[in-house]
C-alpha cells in the first residue's frame, strides 16, 4: 500500500505563491477595476459589465485593434518567410557558421527602447542617414511625423530588422537537425530543390516554425516600447497600436475602468489566437 | 542492372594526402557481377561507408574510376546513376502517404501516372506494405519505414545497383531476422546487383554470395562466406568472422616447419618465404579438438553455448579456444589439444603464408 498524505502541496507552495504575486493578484486587481468606477480616494462604484460593453462598442478600440491586427499580420507575413529564406541560405558547416550566428543574434541583444531611438534618429529627414538619403539624395518625401505611410513603413522595417533574427535562429536550428541521409536520399530519388524544401525541410521545421510564429505573434501583438519611442502613436492616431492606446487610456486620461476592461479583452484576444493557432498546428502530431 | 567495376580507387578526406594514413580508402580494385549479392564487412571506420558513398556518387573519389557495365560514371551525379541507397536510419517523407513515398522517385523522373500506380502496387505487395498504402508514413514502425525506403529503391525498374548502408541498425532483433530473409528473398525475385554494408558478420554472411572484408581502408579478403570461414587470408578476417574468432598463436618457423610451445605443428601445406616477418599460427576453435595426446593445456573456463561448449584453455600463458561437443570440463583441468592439420596455417605479418592443401 502506498501511504497517502498531503505533503506534496508543500513543494508546490513556493511556485503557487510566486505565481500568485506576479500574475494572479495583479490580474485580479485589473478584474476588480474593470467592473467598478473610481474617482480616486479609494471610492468605488459598482459598474457591472458596462466598461466591457463600452470598450467593445467604441470606435477608438476598433481602430486600435484593426491597426494592431494589420501590424502583426504584416510583420508575420514578412518575417517568417524571410527568416526561413535566410536560414536556408546560411552555411551548415565551416567557419562561417559562427560568424553568421553572431551577426544574426546582434539585433536581439539591443534593448527595445534603444532600437526605437536608433530608428528614430536613423530616419530623421535632416540628420538621419536613411531620412537624409531618402529626402535629399533620392528626392522621396519621407517624414514620419507627417506621413502615416512613412510611419508605418518605419515601424515595420524596424520590427523586421529587430526580430527576423529570432525566426532565422529557430528555423536554422530546425534545418541543421535534419540528418544528411535525408538530403542524400532525396538526391538519389531525383528530387528538385523545391521538393527537398517542401517534403523534407519544411516538415522538419514545422515545430520550430510553430513556436516562431507564436512568439512573434505574442510579442508583436503586445508591442509597446519601440513604436512608442519611434512615433509615439502618431502622426495622429495612425500608429496607435493596442498597447499604446491602452496606456493613453489608463495613464493619460486616467480612465481606469475602461482601461482595465480593455486590457482584459486584449489579454483574451492574445490568449485565444495563440491557443487556436497552436491547437491547429499540432492537430496532426501524435 | 549492371556489373560494377572499381578501378584503382583511392579516397582521402584531406585536400593534399601524402602518407598512406591520409587515405580513407587505399587502392581498391573490384569487380562485381551483374545481379550478385555482395556484402562489405568491416569494423566501424574501415572505409566501407566511404566506398559505398563513392559508388552511389554522393562522394567523389580522389583517384580512380567507377564503371557501371562499361560506362565510366565517376563524374556522374547520383540521380543520373540509377542507383538506390537505403540508409542506416529509415528515410521517409513524413508528410506523404506510403503510396506517395513509393511513387516519389518515379514522379520525379516524369514517369506517367498509370505506370507509377502499377509499379507502386507491385512493390508494395512484394514488401507487404499493400494494406497501408493510404496511411501517413510518419506513423509507421521503424521496420515498415525501412521497408518504404527499400521500396523507393525497388520501384524504379531501371535501377543499376541497390546499396544498403547498415539498414538494420534501428530494427528490433526479432524483426531484424524477418527483414533479413525478406531482403534475401527480394534479391532472388528482382535480381538486381545489391551491395550490403555492415559490421555485423551474421548479416553479411547470410545475405551475400560474396563478402568483401575491409580493414583500415583496404580489402583484406574477398570470398564466399564458406571461404572466409574455412580459409581466412588474413588473421583479421579469422578474428573478425566467427564467434569466438580464430586462435592466433605466436610461433617459430625453422627449416620449413612451425613450432608452437616447443612442439612441431602439422600444417595445411608448405610454408612460403617468411624471413624477417612476424609469424603466427592461425586455427579456428572449431578445428581444435580435445584429445588424449598433443599440446598440454589447462582449462580456464568452459561456456556452454547450446550445442557446443567453448573451452578456454591456456598453453603456457597463451589463450587457446576450442569447441567441443562434451561439456564435462572443470577449471584447472589438464587437457591435450590437437589442431586439424588441414585447417591450420601460418600467417606472416598477418597474411596467410602456407600453400593451399592439395586435395
pLDDT single digits (tens) A157-167: 989 999 999 99
**Would A80 be classed as within a structural domain?**
yes
Is the pLDDT reported for residue A55 higher than 80? no
d(CA A275, CA A281): 10
pLDDT of amino acid A285: 65
Q: What is the 3-state secondary structure (H, E, C) of B295-309?
A: EEEEEEEEEECCCCE
Predicted confidence band at A168 (pLDDT cuts at 50, 70, 90)?
A: very high
pLDDT digits (tens, 9 = 90+) for B259-287: 888 888 888 888 887 778 888 888 998 89
Q: Residue A188: which domain range? A: 53-281
Instruction: Please give, rounded to a whole number of angstroms, the shortest distance from the CA of A179 to a CA of chain B.
Output: 9
Whether the per-residue pLDDT at B83 is higher than 70: the answer is yes
Residues of B in contact with A185 (CB under 8 A): 85, 87, 91, 149, 152
What is the DSSP pairing of strand B210-215 with strand B37-41? parallel
| The model's pTM | 0.73
Mean per-residue pLDDT for A26-36?
84
What is the structure's pLDDT at B151? 87
- Write down the pLDDT at residue A216: 92
B170 touches chain A (CB under 8 A): no
CA distance, residue A94 to nearest chain B CA (Å): 15
Q: H helices of chain B, where?
A: 48-56, 98-108, 113-126, 142-154, 173-190, 201-207, 225-230, 235-240
User: Would the CB atoms of B105 and A189 count as touching at under 8 Å?
Assistant: yes
The cell for B341 is 592439420
Of B87, B109, B139, the CB nearest to A185: B87
Above 60 in pLDDT, residue A286?
no
Please identify which residue in the block is written with the cell numbers 537505403: B86
> Is B104's CB within 8 Å of A189's CB?
yes
Residue scoring higher pLDDT (B2 or B226): B226
Residue B265, all three cell numbers: 605443428
Cell of B181: 530473409
Query: Which of chain B's residues have a Cβ under 8 Å away from the Cβ of A93?
Result: none
Instruction: Spell B106-132 as b/e; 16+ CB within 10 A means b.
Output: bbeeebeeeebeebbeebbebbebeeb
pLDDT band per the 50, 70, 90 thresholds, residue A272? very high
- Give the separation between CA A163 and CA A104, rounded to whole angstroms: 10
Nearest by CB to A181, from B83, B91, B108: name it. Answer: B91
| Cα distance between residue A174 and residue B42, in whole Å | 34
A150-158 mean pLDDT: 88
| Residue carrying the nine cell digits 560474396 | B210
Q: Is residue A30 part of a domain?
A: no
B351 touching A (Cβ < 8 Å) = no
Q: Which contiguous run of DSSP H or E holds residue B135?
A: none
CB contact under 8 A, B95 and A195: no
Q: Is residue A24 part of a domain?
A: no
Say how far apart CA B23 and CA B25 lie, in whole Å: 5
Domain range B4-230, CATH class: alpha beta
Backbone angles phi, psi at B5, to 5 degrees: -120, 130
| Residue B358 pLDDT | 64
CATH for B243-352 is 2.40.50.140
Instruction: Please report residues of A whose CB lies closer than 8 A to that of B109.
Output: 190
Which residues from B are below 8 Å from A195, CB to CB?
108
Q: How confident is the model at residue A73 (pLDDT cuts 50, 70, 90)?
A: very high
Residues of A within 8 A of B79 (CB-CB) are: 187-190
- Read off the pLDDT band of A78 (50, 70, 90): very high
- Strand-pair partners of B351: B234, B348
Tell me the pLDDT band of A77, cut-offs 50, 70 and 90: very high
Sheet containing B309-315: give its strands across. Answer: B288-291, B334-339, B295-304, B309-315, B318-324
Report the residue of chain B nearest A201, measured CA to CA.
B93
Query: Which residues have CB under 8 Å from A65's CB, separation 6+?
Result: A242, A269
Q: Does A191 sit within 8 Å of B104, measured CB to CB? A: yes
What pLDDT score was predicted for residue B1?
57
Q: Which residue of B has its CA nearest to A188?
A: B79
Confidence check: pLDDT of B310 > 70: yes
pLDDT of A2 reads 67
CA distance B133 to B126: 13
pLDDT (average), residues A190-201: 87
Q: In this predicted structure, what is the pLDDT of residue B17?
A: 73
Nearest CA in chain B to A183: B91
Residue B22 to residue B13: CA distance in whole angstroms: 8
Number of H helices, E strands in chain B: 8, 22
The mean pLDDT of B133-144, rounded to a whole number, is 84
Q: Do B108 and A187 touch (CB under 8 A)?
A: no
Cβ distance of A181 and B88 shorter than 8 Å:
yes
In a domain, A41, yes or no: no
Q: Is the CB of residue A105 less than 8 Å from the CB of residue A166?
A: no
B109–A203: do the CB atoms touch at under 8 Å?
no
ipTM: 0.71
pLDDT band for position A1 (cuts 50, 70, 90): low
3-state DSSP call for residue A279? helix
Distances (CA, A) of B320 to B87, B317, B336: 39, 10, 11
- Hey, what long-range contacts does B155-158 have (CB within 8 A, 24 or more apart)? B155/B102, B155/B103, B155/B105, B155/B106, B155/B119, B155/B120, B155/B123, B156/B82, B156/B84, B156/B105, B156/B106, B156/B109, B156/B119, B157/B119, B158/B82
Region of poorest pLDDT, from A30-44, A183-197, B228-242: A30-44
Q: Provide mean pLDDT across the span A76-87.
A: 93
Average pLDDT, chain A: 85
pLDDT at A171: 92
Nearest beta carbon to residue A203 from set B85, B94, B152? B94
Query: Cβ of B141 under 8 Å from any chain A Cβ?
Result: no
Size of interface A-B (CB pairs under 8 A): 53
Using the beta-carbon criterion (under 8 Å), do A184 and B109 form an inter-chain contact? no
**CATH number of domain containing A64:** 1.10.3720.10
Instruction: Please tell me which of the candidates A179, A182, A191 has its beta carbon nearest to residue B108.
Output: A191
Nearest CA in chain A to B78: A188
> Among B78, B88, B138, whose Cβ lies nearest the Cβ of A188?
B78
- What is the number of structural domains in chain A? 1
Domains in chain B: boundaries = 4-230, 243-352
In percent, the amount of chain B with pLDDT more than 70 equals 99
Residues on chain B touching A189 (C-beta within 8 angstroms): 79, 104-105, 108, 152
Amino acid at each position: 500500500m502506498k501511504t497517502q498524505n498531503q505533503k506534496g502541496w508543500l513543494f508546490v507552495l513556493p511556485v503557487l505563491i510566486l505565481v500568485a504575486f506576479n500574475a494572479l493578484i495583479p490580474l485580479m486587481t485589473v478584474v476588480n477595476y474593470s467592473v467598478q468606477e473610481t474617482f480616486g480616494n479609494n471610492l468605488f462604484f459598482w459598474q457591472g459589465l458596462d466598461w466591457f460593453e463600452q470598450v467593445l462598442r467604441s470606435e477608438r478600440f476598433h481602430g486600435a485593434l484593426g491597426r494592431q491586427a494589420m501590424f502583426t499580420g504584416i510583420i508575420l507575413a514578412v518575417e517568417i518567410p524571410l527568416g526561413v529564406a535566410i536560414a536556408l541560405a546560411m552555411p551548415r558547416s565551416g567557419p562561417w557558421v559562427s560568424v553568421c550566428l553572431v551577426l544574426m543574434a546582434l539585433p536581439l541583444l539591443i534593448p527595445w527602447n534603444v532600437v526605437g531611438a536608433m530608428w528614430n534618429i536613423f530616419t530623421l529627414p535632416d540628420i538621419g542617414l536613411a531620412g537624409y538619403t531618402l529626402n535629399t539624395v533620392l528626392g522621396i518625401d519621407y517624414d514620419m511625423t507627417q506621413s502615416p505611410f512613412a510611419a508605418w513603413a518605419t515601424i515595420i522595417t524596424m520590427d523586421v530588422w529587430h526580430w527576423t533574427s529570432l525566426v532565422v535562429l529557430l528555423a536554422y536550428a530546425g534545418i541543421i537537425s535534419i540528418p544528411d541521409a535525408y538530403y542524400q536520399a532525396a538526391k538519389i530519388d531525383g528530387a528538385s530543390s523545391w521538393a527537398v524544401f517542401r517534403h523534407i525541410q519544411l516538415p522538419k521545421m514545422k515545430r520550430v516554425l510553430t513556436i516562431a510564429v507564436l512568439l512573434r505573434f505574442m510579442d508583436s501583438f503586445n508591442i509597446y516600447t519601440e513604436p512608442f519611442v519611434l512615433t509615439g502613436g502618431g502622426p495622429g492616431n495612425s500608429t496607435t497600436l493596442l498597447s499604446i492606446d491602452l496606456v493613453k487610456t489608463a495613464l493619460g486620461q486616467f480612465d481606469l475602468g475602461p482601461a482595465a476592461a480593455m486590457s482584459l479583452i486584449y489579454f483574451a484576444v492574445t490568449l485565444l489566437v495563440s491557443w487556436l493557432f497552436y491547437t491547429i498546428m499540432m492537430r496532426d502530431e501524435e | 542492372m549492371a556489373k560494377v567495376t572499381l578501378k584503382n580507387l583511392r579516397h582521402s578526406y584531406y585536400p593534399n594526402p601524402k602518407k598512406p594514413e591520409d587515405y580513407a580508402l587505399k587502392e581498391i580494385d573490384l569487380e562485381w557481377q551483374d545481379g550478385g549479392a555482395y556484402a562489405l564487412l568491416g569494423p566501424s571506420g574501415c572505409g566501407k561507408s566511404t566506398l559505398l558513398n563513392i559508388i552511389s556518387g554522393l562522394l567523389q573519389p580522389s583517384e580512380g574510376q567507377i564503371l557501371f557495365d562499361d560506362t565510366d560514371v565517376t563524374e556522374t551525379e547520383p540521380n543520373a546513376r540509377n542507383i538506390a541507397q537505403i540508409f542506416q536510419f529509415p528515410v521517409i517523407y513524413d508528410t506523404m502517404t506510403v503510396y506517395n513515398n513509393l511513387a516519389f522517385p518515379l514522379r520525379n523522373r516524369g514517369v506517367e501516372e498509370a505506370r507509377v500506380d502499377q509499379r507502386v502496387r507491385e512493390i508494395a505487395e512484394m514488401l507487404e506494405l499493400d494494406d497501408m498504402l493510404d496511411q501517413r508514413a510518419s506513423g509507421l514502425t521503424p521496420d515498415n519505414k525501412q521497408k518504404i525506403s527499400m521500396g523507393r529503391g525497388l520501384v524504379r525498374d531501371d535501377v543499376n545497383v541497390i546499396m544498403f548502408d547498415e539498414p538494420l541498425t534501428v530494427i528490433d532483433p526479432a524483426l531484424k531476422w524477418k527483414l533479413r530473409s525478406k531482403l534475401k528473398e527480394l534479391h532472388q525475385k528482382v535480381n538486381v546487383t545489391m551491395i550490403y554494408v555492415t559490421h555485423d558478420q551474421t548479416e553479411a554472411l547470410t545475405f551475400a554470395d560474396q563478402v568483401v572484408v575491409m580493414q583500415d581502408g583496404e580489402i583484406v579478403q574477398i570470398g564466399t562466406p564458406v571461404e572466409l570461414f574455412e580459409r581466412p587470408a588474413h588473421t583479421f578476417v579469422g578474428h573478425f568472422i566467427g564467434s569466438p574468432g580464430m586462435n592466433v598463436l605466436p610461433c617459430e618457423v625453422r627449416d620449413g616447419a612451425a613450432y608452437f610451445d616447443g612442439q612441431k605443428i602439422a600444417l595445411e601445406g608448405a610454408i612460403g618465404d617468411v624471413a624477417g616477418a612476424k609469424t603466427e599460427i592461425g586455427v579456428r576453435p572449431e578445428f581444435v579438438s580435445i584429445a588424449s595426446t598433443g599440446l598440454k593445456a589447462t582449462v580456464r573456463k568452459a561456456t556452454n553455448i547450446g550445442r557446443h561448449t567453448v573451452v578456454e584453455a591456456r598453453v603456457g600463458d597463451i589463450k587457446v579456444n576450442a569447441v567441443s561437443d562434451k561439456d564435462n570440463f572443470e577449471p584447472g583441468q589438464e587437457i591435450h589439444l590437437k589442431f586439424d592439420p588441414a585447417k591450420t596455417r601460418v600467417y606472416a605479418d598477418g597474411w596467410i603464408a602456407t600453400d593451399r592443401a592439395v586435395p
